[in-house]
Amino acid sequence: MTAEKLIPNYTAQDDATWQGDWELWDGVPVSMAPNPFGPHSAAVVKIIASLVSQLAECDAQVLTGLDWIVDQSNVFRPDVVVVCGPVPERHIESPPALIVEVLSEATRQRDTVYKPRLCREHGVEFVLVDPDTKSIDRARVQICDDCFVEFDASILG
């Protein structure tokens, strides 16, 4: 028996029943622990404030803490997400317009490799923020048809 056959393959329905904070990547549960530290949280707040201000005239919602159910084998919770149209009742079930991930030591690998790949595969704009180097990897992104958002690393202070 190969090792692949021994690895369980979980689904979004399984993820919905688990206690604690989990993401699901290609059917494999991934713990979201530990919780982020101060610089990560401060960067998330600054990014949200900037996006809310810039998108005031757009049909877009800036959200945090919601799972994106990509498909039955992939569920993840972006640091910041922008959806076009109304706020979802529960989870995000169609590709959002934009995902922003803020790096931390505990999540660096998944935020720089797995999540950008998944976003590219589903046509989702992806922005990576590094609070340690005070850098943002994109300067301007078009979302929700005719809206643009700009990222200025100086907000990371």
User: Do 58 and 51 meet the contact criterion of CB atoms below 8 Å apart?
Assistant: no
Domain definitions of the chain by residue range: 34-156
Number of H helices and E strands in the chain, helices first, is 5, 11
Unique residue bearing structure tokens 């998330």: 44
Residue 1 clears pLDDT 70, i.e. is over it: no
pLDDT at 146: 87
Residue range 71-95, pLDDT digits in tens: 999 999 999 999 999 999 999 999 9
Which architecture does CATH list for 34-156?
Alpha-Beta Complex (3.90)
Mean pLDDT for all residues in the chain: 91
> Which of 63, 60, 68, 65 is CA-nearest to residue 15?
68
Residue range 100-139, pLDDT digits in tens: 999 988 888 888 999 999 999 999 999 999 999 999 999 9
d(CA 99, CA 97): 7
* pTM given for the model: 0.90
User: Do 63 and 110 meet the contact criterion of CB atoms below 8 Å apart?
Assistant: no
- DSSP 8-state code for residue 132: T
> Which of 13, 15, 51 is CA-nearest to residue 32?
15
